[in-house]
Chains A and B, each alone.
Chain A
Amino acid sequence: MTERVPLITMQLMGKPYSVPSGLTIMAAIEFAGYKLVRGAGCRGGFCGACPTLYRREGSHRMFTALACQTLVEDGMSLVQMPFVPLATKPYELAAITPRANTILSHFPEIAGCVACNTCTRACPQGLQVMDYIQAALRGDIKRVSLLSFDCISCGICSSRCPADIKHYAVGQLARRIYGRFITPAEPHLAERVSELEAGQFTSELTEMMHMSQAELRARYEQRSFEVVDDGGEHSATKRYNSPVDPVDFQDEIEG
């Protein structure tokens, strides 16, 4: 028995297509006959490969979304933006000294921020992007790191910015500096690394390498999670530790 799904019309790069309602933008593009060789990755909202620009009927605004996370709508006019060009001066993290103007000296263009908040409105992760750029401007590396923690580097912010700021690269540098120089070293991490180096888990790893895909999948689903108690400061960590795994797509694993 087949269920009838209503068709809707979307415009992809100016050309109309009838697609079933209820599909993600990405699935709708594929339904329309396109094969995505770029602009698709994890299909779970984490890799940032599928930024999409679209307009809706009845609004003068340009909207942004991840194609794998957003349902296609009737009258949507869209285009994929698989990559936002990025050119940054290379830096050697180990050679950086964290100071109030470290980020500004790497990305002086953040001084051009006009606080229009376009980046924040465009962010598919709902981050306070403008606030972290502003924190970067005043050298608050910790705040940049925490506010940008959930960034997936899709680059939408950067494509929309009137000051041409490379927000996601700014956040990444801050998180790297924060992780390397500011957060205290975790003793349990050093312990685990030395256990690994001493070969303590070699037999388990060897066992896993010989497992079938089904066995691996079962193991993966049964895995346990560390309880994180950080007073809510790293709320993103809690979300990432959710047992509902977003990368749980049969086609990804079997494809």
Chain B
Amino acid sequence: MTITMRAGSGPDELLHKVEVLSEQHLANCYQCGTCAATCPLAAQMDLLPDMLIRHLLFGLPGVLERRTLWVCVGCESCTDRCPRGIDVARIIEALRQIRLQDRGDELAVAQLPDAARELPPIALVASLRRHTG
């Protein structure tokens, strides 16, 4: 596998989109890993938030295919604790939005199991907002 690293060598389209949508400057990240350490769902992620930021900065492929996008539930612990003031939750929300607009829904609403249909309205509304375009 060949990986082309493009750090500092011209604008990367995905990075640019994420920076515009999230209003965050990713190069501010100094990779301390506080976000990953504080994330209650980090164990379920296939790319930790700090690494995700690095992958975006380097233009590495496959960021949009990561499970991390959907595991992040937006609790904003990382945002609250980032020593560099980066709103990590916004970065992941931007990636979700790009993915949803590109590939369509992540949740098959019509195929929800009966048990899921019995949930409190806030669970369904929140899930639809995060998983459908």
Contacts and interface: CB of A to CB of B under 8 A. Distances in A.
Direct touching of A and B (C-beta under 8 Å) = yes
Given A101-B118, A108-B117, A137 B110 contact: no
A101 B125 CA distance: 13
B110 A111 contact: no
Q: Classify the interface of chain B: helix, strand, loop or mixed.
A: helix
Contact of B109 (A101, A112, A137, A138): A112
Contacts, number: 37
A105 B127 CA distance: 14
A224 B73 CA distance: 62
A105 B125 contact: no
Q: Classify the interface of chain A: helix, strand, loop or mixed.
A: helix
Instruction: State which size class the interface on B falls in.
Output: 10 to 19
Contacts of B10: none
A108 B109 contact: yes
A147 B44 CA distance: 45
Interface centre among B109, B114, B118 (most CB of A within 10 A): B109
Interface in B12-65: none
Interface in B79-130: 109-110, 112, 114, 116-121, 124-125, 127-129
B114 A105 contact: yes
Interface of A: 89, 101, 104-106, 108-109, 111-112, 137-139
